[in-house]
Amino acid sequence: MNDYTHDSRKFILGGAIIIVLLVYIIRLFSLQVLSDEYKTKADSNAFYKKTIYPSRGLIYDRNGELLVYNQPAYDIMFVPREIKGKLDTLELCSALNITREDFEKRMEDVRNPRSNPGYSSYTQQMFMSRLSAEEFARFQEKLFRFPGFYVQKRSIRQYSCDAAGVILGDIGEVSPKRLKADSYYVRGDYIGTQGLEASYENVLRGKKGVEMLLRDAHGRIQGKYRSGALDTMPERGKDLTLSIDINLQRLGERLLKNKIGSIVAIEPSTGEVLCMVSSPSYDPHILVGRQRGANHKKLANDKRKPLLNRAIMGTYPPGSTFKTSQALTFLEEGIITENTPFPCHGGFVHAGLRVGCHPHPAPLPLIPAIATSCNGYFCWGLLRMLSSNKYGKVQKAMNVWRDYMVSMGFGYKLGVDLPGEVRGMIPNAQFYDKAYRASWNGLTVISISIGQGEVTLTPLQIANLCATIANRGTFITPHVVKSIENDTLADTYRTPRETMASRRSYEHVVAGMRQAVLAGTCRGANLPDIEVCGKTGTAQNKGKDHSAFIGFAPMNEPKIALAVYVENGGFGATYAVPIGALLMEQYLKGELSADSKIKAEEMQNRVIYYGEGER
């Protein structure tokens, strides 16, 4: 008779032994092959892998003037396991001029997995960053007393001028979120955090190198391993040449001093941004070195928001500058011809609704209507379009209108090569159906015809409108980088985009803008020997109105198109027009005349208090 119980026990015991062996084998495989934990510990005992940081790419303006370069800085690094029980804490604090409490806080932050993910006591950790050459020299003399501490040489940014802070951006210590997302970085690395430094980080940063150093049994560095055969050299970052004219940028920032607003100038034929001013701004020098954090906090807490790039992040009612886009739409859709007259009895008056206007002759056709900035004319034009039997329903007409606006670069991000761009607002039929429960008509939305109501644009979009008019119907996506060292720009910054309006329609708008400078609301932009075209805007606001202007020159071979927007500046002719004229003169002639220098000085000294208008 067979003993089945005994046989079963043999199988169970044998299976258990096999399972235990498999677990050990899998664990050994994981530790020795899949995990680098023990390899890291062993390598740490025998080798010191010193990271060699590359030089960050330089940044030049369009004329070759160096704007951003590098200067040496020094970080204090340490390997936690090498200092255990060997460190004279008080002497270290004295050498680095810090308190014991500061020392403890730094050590706590290093061990915190939230602020320092991937922490290992066998790898280098950041203790203190951005020591100056003088601080480094003092510490270097005593470094031998602090086992486990090392000095890492890096480079930090320096600036040759005090302008263009919001464009250039800055670099700061990499965030925990980015550490998790990108294995290139380790705690303490620097990364572009704003402006071009952020959007072109992968181009500017270069590639790290590694130097393999050999340790003895006491952990002391003995020299290069295998005479440097395993070392890898860093690759420097690529240089950027910007489209910015730094002299024009400086002038723009001077003219907006003590004011809130923005200026954007574009070369129409290329889409290159010649200047991008956001006011108030800041001197980029203050975001360099050990005081960067404190200074950044001050800027962030400033109620005037100097860190905000209003050119691409601020949204405003475009006011009467928007009438140019309306003229193009009405002409192209056959709602009007250039000779169609509309009345203006002190404004638009219809069915009990009135939109005011300033005194001027009436009725009048399109070109004089643009020149005098007649509110009535464009209100009548939009009402005729939205009431036309051509579309059947107001919703269909509204969406056709929306399509024209989108084709001109409104309602969506243009795609400029800077972080933080916003899209603005162009309403469509669905928006109004929801807002008014489908009970609305042309009179309900009439204010959008003059750049008010729900319409908001960024100064960049307003400037791009002007560049598109200068080109008679095409534009290239605005961009701040003109070229990248040994590389090419993306196709989007080289390929023209067409609007839905024809060249013929644009020529009528150009004629109206030229007439506005010669005998209309933009007479202050008239420059000797230069055919300037312009359009003012006075955008309604809860407080004092905003002052706006778009202009380009020369009329037939345009080299510059710009938009000026001054918050609480009142009429367009008060602030925006003279600022625009000075910028066009500077760029086209290379300098300001003696009279213009006096005007620039006067404009620089005029003050508009935050949210209150001029005093």
Tens-place pLDDT, residues 331-343: 999 999 999 999 9
Predicted confidence (pLDDT) at residue 608 exceeds the cutoff of 60? yes
Q: What is the mean pLDDT of residues 499-504?
A: 98
Predicted local confidence at residue 179, as pLDDT? 84
Segment among 150-154, 305-309, 312-316 with least mean pLDDT:
150-154
pLDDT the model gives residue 613:
66
The pLDDT value recorded for residue 195 is 95
What confidence score (pLDDT) does residue 219 get? 55
The confidence band for 40, taking pLDDT boundaries of 50, 70 and 90, is very low
- pLDDT at 577 exceeding the cut of 50: yes
Give the pLDDT confidence score for residue 41 in this predicted structure.
47
| pLDDT reported for residue 111 | 86
Radius of gyration of the chain, Cα coordinates, nearest whole angstrom: 32
Residues 6+ away with beta carbon under 8 Å from 439: none
Give the architecture (CATH level 2) of 50-242: Alpha-Beta Complex (3.90)
Average pLDDT estimate for 262-270: 98
Instruction: Calculate the alpha carbon distances from 380 to 350, 397, 460 in Å.
Output: 9, 15, 28
pLDDT of residue 317: 96
Pairing mode of beta strands 66-78, 125-131: antiparallel
- Domain 246-299+308-610 CATH class label: alpha beta
Pull the structure tokens for residue 39: 């390899």
How far apart are the C-alpha atoms of 65 and 110, rounded to whole Å?
Answer: 41
Which pLDDT band holds residue 345 (cuts at 50, 70, 90)? Answer: confident
Tell me which of 43 and 571 has the higher pLDDT: 571
Torsion region of 334: left, alpha or beta (phi above 0 gives left; psi -120 to 50 gives alpha): left
Give mean pLDDT, residues 7-21: 73
Residue intervals of the chain classified under CATH 3.40.710.10 are 246-299+308-610
pLDDT of residue 387: 96
The H or E element spanning position 405 is helix 394-407
Which tokens hold the place of 120? 């290992």
Whole-prediction pTM value? 0.87
Provide the pLDDT for residue 140: 86
- Rounded-to-10 torsion of CA 384, 387, 390, 391: 130
Q: What is the mean pLDDT of residues 66-76?
A: 90
Q: What percent of the chain has pLDDT over 70?
A: 91
CA distance 567 to 542: 11
Q: Of 25 and 93, which is predicted with more confidence? A: 93
Q: Which residue has the higher pLDDT, 328 or 154?
A: 328
Q: How much is the pLDDT for 444?
A: 97
Helices 459-470 & 323-332, crossing angle to 10 degrees? 50
Is the model's pLDDT at 39 over the cut of 60?
Answer: no
The Cα 553–Cα 467 span in angstroms is: 10
pLDDT at position 449 over 80: yes
Residue 3, pLDDT > 80, answer no
Other beta carbons within 10 Å of 384: 17
- pLDDT above 90 (res 309): yes
DSSP label of 225? G
The yes-or-no verdict on residue 136 having pLDDT over 70 is: yes
pLDDT, tens digit, for every residue of 357-406?
999 999 999 999 999 999 999 999 999 999 999 999 999 999 999 999 99
User: How many C-beta atoms lie closer than 10 Å to residue 468's C-beta?
Assistant: 28
Tell me the average pLDDT across 519-544: 93
pLDDT tens digit sequence for 347-360: 999 999 999 999 99
pLDDT above 70 (res 215): no
As annotated, the active-site residues are: 320
Could you give the count of Cα atoms lying within 13 Å of 539 in the half-sphere of its Cβ?
Answer: 33
Which of the listed ranges 4-18, 226-240, 428-442 does the model predict with the highest average pLDDT? 428-442
Residue 141 confidence (pLDDT) above 90:
no
* Mean model confidence pLDDT for the chain: 90
Tell me the two tokens of residue 493: 């910054």
| Residue 193, φ and ψ in degrees, nearest 5 | -110, -20
pLDDT over threshold 90, residue 2: no
Give residue-wise pLDDT tens across range 45-63: 566 677 888 999 999 999 9
Arithmetic mean of pLDDT, 172-193:
86
What is the reported pLDDT for 33? 57
Q: So what's the pLDDT on residue 81?
A: 82
Burial of 179-204, coded b for 16+ CB within 10 Å and e otherwise, reads beeeeebbbbbbbbbbbbbbbbbebb
Where do the CATH 3.90.1310.10 domains begin and end in the chain? 50-242
Strand partners, 213: 48, 224
Q: Please give the order of strands across the beta sheet that includes 533-539.
A: 272-279, 261-267, 560-566, 546-553, 533-539
pLDDT in tens, 423-444: 999 999 999 999 998 899 999 9
- Tell me what percent of the residues of the chain surpass a pLDDT of 90: 64
Q: Read off φ and ψ for residue 369, nearest 5 degrees.
A: -65, -40
| Predicted confidence (pLDDT) at residue 126 exceeds the cutoff of 50 | yes
